Amino acid sequence: EYVMVDGRTLDRSAAKVDIEDRGYQFGDGVYEVIRVYNGKMFTGMEHLKRLKESAEKIQMKLPYSPEELLARMEELILKNEVDTGTVYMQFTRGISPRNHVFPGENVATTFVAYTRKVPRPVEPMEKGVCAILDEDIRWLRCDIKSLNLLGNLLSKQRAAEANCFEAILHRGETVTEGSHSNISIVKDGVIITHQADNHILNGITRQKMLEICRNESIPFEERAFSLDELSSADEVFSSGTTVEVMPVVEVAGKPVGNGRPGSVTRQLQALFKAEIE
Ligand code: PDD
């Protein structure tokens, strides 16, 4: 299996991380996860543009353009013969003696990318999944897809211990997103999902979904919604690169609607499937 390190393709066993890499020591870097369907990246350019934006938001300059990265990732997918899977890529602020202050411009970023063969989550998408609720204790720049994921991990771990798929995060009474996906509710046929601001990652899947809604005249609102609205919603679903459009049929031990995937969620799943085929 091949991986890419700083633009060179090598065998996974030959790839190494320096003990003073800033990603390793500080989580000082940004990342993306891109879906591969039928051997091709889905919304690859959108992900790579967001990667560039994330880097700019932490004052990091990437040594490649989104176009160059797209071409390199295409190479890696071909070499590893990935049909259905993911591409993971990350840039850190490079290797330098440990110091909270950024190293100078002369220190190169560290770039790592690899692929994985991952099937689509067909069964949970059919049946729906459960979620727990957890206070959103993360920082106030969740719009940056940074390597600092401890807040997300703590919530996802709690969900896993409760045999649930996702933790729905809330800041006080306001629902923000999931530990590793965006969260939407449906009330009286209208999709409601948190506006794209510093409290959430503006998911590429979320954006794709809203584009589908515009094209199909499915009504939606981008606004914060409360825990009360969540618990009285007709439908709840999670969206993300790995989870696609995932019905949430139970929240904090209580069924959502009739406890089965709802009609709007199913419609979105079908429309999304048509996009990726
Ligand atoms: N997670 N919100 C959070 C906190 C996420 O980590 C993700 C994605 C999303 C959905 O974004 P997108 O539709 O662009 O994948 C929302 C990735 C897949 C991960 O960390 O594995």
pLDDT value of residue 110: 98
48-78 pLDDT, tens digit each = 999 999 999 999 999 999 999 999 999 999 9
Q: Is the dihedral of CA 118, 120, 124, 128 positive or negative?
A: positive
Residues of the chain with CATH 3.20.10.10: 122-276
* CA atoms lying within 13 Å on the CB side of residue 100: 0
Residue with tokens 């996860």: 33
208-258 pLDDT, tens digit each = 999 999 999 999 999 999 999 999 999 999 999 999 999 999 999 999 999
Among 88, 180, 204, name the best residue to mutate to test ligand 1's pocket (greatest count of ligand atoms within 8 A of Cβ): 180
For 122-276, give the CATH class: alpha beta
pLDDT value of residue 137: 98
- The mean pLDDT value of the chain amounts to 98
Axis-axis angle for helices 204-216, 44-57 (nearest 10): 130
**From the centroid of its chain, how far is CA 235?**
21
Residue 40 has pLDDT above 90, yes or no: yes
Between the CA of 97 and the centroid of ligand 1 the distance, in Å, is: 31
Question: What dotted CATH number matches 2-117?
Answer: 3.30.470.10
Between the CA of 180 and the centroid of ligand 1 the distance, in Å, is: 5
Rounded-to-integer distance, Cα 212 and Cα 222, Å: 14
User: Which atom of ligand 1 is nearest the CA belonging to 243?
Assistant: 18
Residues near ligand 1 with C-beta < 6 Å? 33, 152, 177, 180-182, 201, 203-206, 240-242
Residues of the chain with CATH 3.30.470.10: 2-117
88-143 pLDDT, tens digit each = 999 999 999 999 999 998 999 999 999 999 999 999 999 999 999 999 999 999 99
**For the chain, how are helix, strand and coil distributed in percent, rounded to 5?**
30, 30, 40
| CB-based burial label for 61 (10 Å; 0-12, 13-18, 19+) | exposed
Share above pLDDT 90 across residues of the chain, in percent, rounded to a whole number: 99
pLDDT value of residue 232: 98
- Interface predicted TM-score (ipTM): 0.98
Mean pLDDT of 141-169: 98
Q: Which DSSP symbol is given to 224? A: -
Confidence of residue 277 (pLDDT cuts 50, 70, 90): confident
Confidence of residue 194 (pLDDT cuts 50, 70, 90): very high
pLDDT value of residue 105: 87
pLDDT value of residue 37: 98
Pairing status of strand 166-171 against strand 174-178: antiparallel
Confidence of residue 167 (pLDDT cuts 50, 70, 90): very high
